[in-house]
Structure 1
């Protein structure tokens, strides 16, 4: 049975797992840095969403105001046209009525600042009367979109057409027109009110948006009527392929969306709204960069601060890890030194066998165990024959080498972990054999004797010419009346008998009928 040796690093009753401090430190530092990064991300993401939400609210309010203004402008023009059409359809527009009609049109234009002018065309598209005093000259307006619309449609509702340049003075206008019928409902001409493009341009400029923002007024088919910033080449272009008209308006008449503009490629947050009374759509947009400008600055500053903190933690962690590693190396060195001290304290430095201190501890443990379990305990004592002569003949260095060789021979015959080979003192050795009776001890002793002889160590002072050993064996079942000293004394007595009987032999001391008998073996 192995000798139980208590590890001071273990608690009684079970092993304690040592905390892997280095791994724990690295994991802790990595976790702290990761948490800082996650918290920064969450804070910045929340701030970004807050800024975008504020921009959405502002965009919604702006488009609502734009829609209301546009609807008011077109409704006033529509009401003027409706009253005039009713009058013209009753009184006609003959030569006698034209002076009065011209003055009426002029007063209406003066009353509504958004109007460029009011024009009446006959069924061939020729000018009949306008709000201007001078009658325009030219081929007429039979080629205009609004004229063709009323010529082909009997509807009497106001029609809003694509933006055009007035043939009166070249100014950009948005045409609002109504069909004029005779008493029988036949097409007799078109009454047109031109809303100034400049009116919407001034209206758009009254709102504060960023340099990359935009505002526009368009027909529901995507035809652009007015835009801020004003780019003349874009007026009349189609926005029908844009996301607002393709994806969003079909699902909701009002809303907002982050869109890459089809006009200039700028990513903007668009608020859009379709008018209820007219086929018009208004939209206001702020560029994403301007919305998040402050957020970008905050994000940069926060990121720099967190990066510096992480670097500081990383530097501290690096120093700490180095200290932990240094501590582990020191601890490992101390553990090695401790093991070495244990080995020095319990083993002979020359032979590597257990010393008397460990022998006494093991003997005390095995004696008590043998008494409890009624198991036999054997002890072999052996001595090198004529060792003083060997030292005198070959010197102490050779003597030490001889002792080491004998120790290896002894140890090679201890086949169990519980067997303990001991350098008892000088040239004397001992072998403690738990759970072994006298016959077993005799077998082991003979093995040791032959193992030493098998090394063929020359010894001129020995009668055989070679190094030999003498061995004494004793075995008994310990009881309360026995002592450790008795076991050692009787094994030593057997050794003494072997030496006095001619050496190079094994002597066994046993109890028979209460009398000690000596058996020798010199085979």
Structure 2
């Protein structure tokens, strides 16, 4: 039972088992890379949300400004028309009043930049008075949407109709009109003011938008009135199936949303708002790609930087892990060499049995244990009979081989883990038997003696013709202050008595240490 110079379960410098450094290094590097990736994701995602939030705020502010401008534009025209309608309904529009009304129409148009012109139509839809010097020629406006509306509705509220081309000069206008009644409240005609499409186009262009950005003014039924960028083919088309009209406006009169345009399919962030005073909806949008362009650039730069850092960490970790692996290999070699040195220091190089140094250490340990537990400790000393004659007859090489065979027999007879087989010196061996009384020691001694004989090792110098051994046994219960030397001497005394009695036998020294009576085992 070898006793190592140091405890292999004790980590240097502490009581805790040493961590597997290479695995810890790999886990640390993986954790660092995961943390960097997680922080990069959080930073990128936060930046994206911030850019979208800023764009939403800008879009909401823009639509608020558009709504205010549109309301002011139509309100100014509405107020002018209301005063004129009151005047016309009170004084009529006969031949005597027409010159004055024409001058008034012209002044009002000059005062309001957004107005294209003002027009009064009779109950048949024919021109009566306009802000222009000459009346247009033609069949009138009985076919226009706004005229039909007032024919069928008695409401005095201003009506805003779909954009049309003026029959005066072909310019695109947005009509805002009011019904004119006689004193009895019967339909007498329509007063219409045309809001220039170019006025809204100019207003829209005063805002900074990206190339894919849009702005529009539409009726609450989805009819498109004005748009930036201006596209004549889209004027008057319906946006009613778009998400703004279908989903957003029924739930909130103002807001923002990222949606795909029903006009061109481009994904944009739309801000929308429905006017409170008029059946109008304004909207402004910026394309998602433009909003996130700066974010994409920052995300790419951050990703490159983190990737370089992770590459550096990975390279450092690779070098570190290789150094750790080399260190572990060196440490294993050192441990292996240390164990070899311990084996050399505590075991006989020829037989592989424990040497005297380990035997002496084991004696101290077993004496202390025996004293604590009041258990017996036994020792067998054995010697090869006539070994000098064996060496002289067969040579030292054969003698070494003989020693090895006997040592193997002794080792095989030590069945328990605490038992220790020792080469005590030359051809002499010892067997330390903890927790074993004299009867157990004698039994093992007899087993060793018979096993050596069963080897049938030829020995011409022995009376039997074969190799034999003599054994001496001694057993006692340690008291705590016992002498190992005396213990060995008594077992050795039993051995000499076995030799003196004729060899090839086991002798037992009595417990009181006397040398008179012997017990023999020669069977």
Residue 263 of structure 1: aligned partner: 263
Question: In the alignment, is the contact (CA less than 8 A) between 2:381 and 2:492 conserved in 1?
Answer: yes
Residue 425 of structure 2: aligned partner: 425
Question: In the alignment, is the contact (CA less than 8 A) between 1:3 and 1:418 conserved in 2?
Answer: no
Question: In the alignment, is the contact (CA less than 8 A) between 1:124 and 1:142 conserved in 2?
Answer: yes
CA shift digits 1:239-280 (9 cap, x unpaired): 223232233322332222233322222232222222121111
Residue 244 of structure 2: aligned partner: 244
SS in 1 for 2:117: strand
CA shift digits 1:343-383 (9 cap, x unpaired): 11111122221111100111122223334443322110111
| Alignment CA distance shift 1:513-1:189 (3 Å) | closer
SS in 1 for 2:277: coil
Question: In the alignment, is the contact (CA less than 8 A) between 1:254 and 1:274 conserved in 2?
Answer: yes
Please say if 1:369 is aligned against 2:347: no
Question: In the alignment, is the contact (CA less than 8 A) between 2:216 and 2:282 conserved in 1?
Answer: yes
Question: In the alignment, is the contact (CA less than 8 A) between 1:2 and 1:418 conserved in 2?
Answer: no
Residue 217 of structure 1: aligned partner: 217
Deviates more, 1:19-28 or 1:344-353: 19-28
Q: Distance in 1 between matches of 2:316 and 2:3?
A: 46
Question: In the alignment, is the contact (CA less than 8 A) between 1:256 and 1:272 conserved in 2?
Answer: yes
Q: Distance in 2 between matches of 1:511 and 1:158?
A: 133
- 1:126 deviates by 2.8
Q: Distance in 1 between matches of 2:465 and 2:236?
A: 127
CA shift digits 1:411-464 (9 cap, x unpaired): 111121111111111221110111212111110001111122222333333333
Q: Distance in 1 between matches of 2:195 and 2:154?
A: 23
| Alignment CA distance shift 1:56-1:237 (3 Å) | same
SS in 2 for 1:516: coil
- 1:508 deviates by 1.5
TM-score, normalised by the number of residues in structure 2: 0.93
Question: In the alignment, is the contact (CA less than 8 A) between 2:498 and 2:506 conserved in 1?
Answer: yes
Matches within 5 A, 1:466-477: 466-477=466-477
Q: Distance in 1 between matches of 2:479 and 2:112?
A: 130
Q: Distance in 1 between matches of 2:169 and 2:315?
A: 75
| Alignment CA distance shift 1:225-1:513 (3 Å) | closer
Q: Distance in 1 between matches of 2:323 and 2:478?
A: 54
Please say if 1:390 is aligned against 2:390: yes
Q: Distance in 1 between matches of 2:495 and 2:443?
A: 15
Please say if 1:465 is aligned against 2:465: yes
Residue 191 of structure 1: aligned partner: 191
Matches within 5 A, 1:125-204: 125-204=125-204
- 1:9 deviates by 5.5
Question: In the alignment, is the contact (CA less than 8 A) between 2:4 and 2:342 conserved in 1?
Answer: no
Residue 58 of structure 1: aligned partner: 58
Deviates more, 1:56-65 or 1:164-173: 56-65
Residue 444 of structure 1: aligned partner: 444
| Alignment CA distance shift 1:480-1:337 (3 Å) | closer
Question: In the alignment, is the contact (CA less than 8 A) between 2:2 and 2:346 conserved in 1?
Answer: no
Q: Distance in 1 between matches of 2:332 and 2:2?
A: 26
- 1:83 deviates by 2.0
Question: In the alignment, is the contact (CA less than 8 A) between 1:85 and 1:180 conserved in 2?
Answer: yes
Deviates more, 1:199-208 or 1:182-191: 182-191
- 1:514 deviates by 5.4
CA shift digits 1:475-502 (9 cap, x unpaired): 1223467521122112112222222333
Residue 92 of structure 2: aligned partner: 92
Residue 487 of structure 2: aligned partner: 487
Q: Distance in 2 between matches of 1:464 and 1:146?
A: 143
| Alignment CA distance shift 1:354-1:184 (3 Å) | same
Q: Distance in 2 between matches of 1:136 and 1:239?
A: 33
Q: Distance in 2 between matches of 1:163 and 1:462?
A: 136
Q: Distance in 2 between matches of 1:408 and 1:42?
A: 71
Q: Distance in 1 between matches of 2:268 and 2:245?
A: 15
Q: Distance in 2 between matches of 1:47 and 1:354?
A: 74
Matches within 5 A, 1:40-59: 40-59=40-59
Q: Distance in 2 between matches of 1:387 and 1:151?
A: 144
Residue 307 of structure 1: aligned partner: 307
Q: Distance in 2 between matches of 1:188 and 1:113?
A: 29
| Alignment CA distance shift 1:150-1:516 (3 Å) | farther
Residue 124 of structure 2: aligned partner: 124
TM-score, normalised by the number of residues in structure 1: 0.93
Deviates more, 1:237-246 or 1:109-118: 237-246
Residue 273 of structure 1: aligned partner: 273
Q: Give the alignment's Cα RMSD to 1 decimal.
A: 2.5
CA shift digits 1:195-226 (9 cap, x unpaired): 11100000111111222211111111222111
Q: Distance in 1 between matches of 2:2 and 2:423?
A: 19
Matches within 5 A, 1:277-296: 277-296=277-296
Residue 28 of structure 1: aligned partner: 28
Question: In the alignment, is the contact (CA less than 8 A) between 1:214 and 1:285 conserved in 2?
Answer: yes
Q: Distance in 1 between matches of 2:485 and 2:392?
A: 33
